[in-house]
Amino acid sequence: MRATRRGKTKPDARVRLGGWLAIPEPLVVEVAGRAGYDWVGLDLQHGAWDLGTAFRGIQLLDLLGVPILVRVSEEDLALIPRVLDQGASGIVVAMASSPEIVAAAIDRARYAPHGHRSYGGQRFGMRAEPADLAEVRPAIYAMLEDRRGVEAAREIAAVPGLAGLHIGPVDLGLGLSLGRDRAQPAFTAALEAILAAGHGERLPVVLHAVKPGEVGHWIQMGFDELVLTADIEVLRLGFQGQLATAREAIDHKERPVSAVIGPYGQARRQPRPARPKKR
């Protein structure tokens, strides 16, 4: 992001791609950290993370030099200082449907006199910090996911210190009473309203749960950052895809199963040839 005279951030020309992790496994974190994403998100709202595993995930990504965003529920704003102390680069606040929720989140991420975050150091002194702690300003993003968020998008985007707007498309569709049907004009109108609100304040707007084949469409619509398919979905689709490909090959070149191998992979015992009778 580029800073502007108003102190806001301006979206970069290059569309940034984020990774999204729900699985609290260091090996998965490392794979994602080395994959080349512009940043990696840890999902404390819906993922299987607890604080302990999240802290270790943050530590690993920090050592790899990858920016880390952590998503928390609007009901868990008290977690913000803790994950920031561990080294998170920023916070995504889910269901941030009002300017008041966003302002409260930013307050918890700023040291006095600009907020009420208690001082715990930057990774306990293992990360350099400025002499003026007012310059420590982790990014706080508002995730808009329902009708209230869409209607208040301009007021939310105008909250001082906000770093950008995120969109959870599934919850947004549910919140608009559209289900999972993203082809509805009302869904497109909601996305356009959020894009206009964010760009009006020179903020990046980020869409979640994007399949690789959809990237061109969402770039054309104007999104600045896209969060690609989450780790669990990548694994699920990968496993299913491998099995489908393998089974298709088997269907085209199948040999009689009963000849050597049983129906569940067990080797069949071949009958011994009959011994010649003694005369």
Q: Map the chain to HEC letters.
A: CEECCCCCEECCCCCEEEEEECCCCHHHHHHHHHHCCCEEEEECCCCCCCHHHHHHHHHHHHHCCCCEEEEECCCCHHHHHHHHHCCCCEEEECCCCCHHHHHHHHHHCCECCCCCECCCCCCCCCCCCCCCHHHCCCEEEEEECCHHHHHCHHHHHCCCCCCEEEECHHHHHHHCCCCCCCCCHHHHHHHHHHHHHHHHCCCCEEEEEECHHHHHHHHHHCCCEEEECCHHHHHHHHHHHHHHHHHHHHHHCCCCHHHHECCCCCECCCCCCCCCCCC
Residue 268, in any domain of the structure: no
Residue 17, in any domain of the structure: yes
Query: Does the active-site annotation cover 217?
Result: no
Catalytic residue among 46, 116, 199, 217: 46
Give CA–CA dist 101/4, Å, rounded. 25
Residue 97, in any domain of the structure: yes
Residue 250, in any domain of the structure: no
Residues 6 or more apart from 201 whose CB is under 8 A from it? 8, 157, 158, 162
pLDDT at 260: 56
Number of domains in the chain: 1
**Tokens matching residue 278:** 């003694």
> What radius of gyration do the chain's Cα atoms show?
25
pLDDT at 24: 98
> Is residue 28 within 8 Å of 236, Cβ to Cβ?
no
The HSE-up count of residue 50 (CA atoms within 13 Å, CB side) is 1
pLDDT at 257: 54
Beta bridge partners of 18: 39, 227
Give CA–CA dist 194/28, Å, rounded. 32
- Where residue 202 falls (left for φ over 0; alpha for ψ -120 to 50; beta otherwise) is left
pLDDT at 121: 82
Range of the domain at 202: 2-239
pLDDT at 259: 53
**Tokens matching residue 258:** 């009963």
pTM (2 decimals)?
0.86
pLDDT at 1: 42
Give CA–CA dist 77/116, Å, rounded. 12
Residue 269, in any domain of the structure: no
Residue 221, in any domain of the structure: yes
Residue 106, in any domain of the structure: yes
Could you state, in chain order, the average pLDDT of each consecutive group of 10 residues for the chain (279 residues)?
41 85 98 98 98 97 97 97 96 98 98 93 83 91 98 98 98 96 95 98 98 96 98 96 93 64 58 66
Q: CATH number of the domain at 109, please.
A: 3.20.20.60
pLDDT at 5: 31
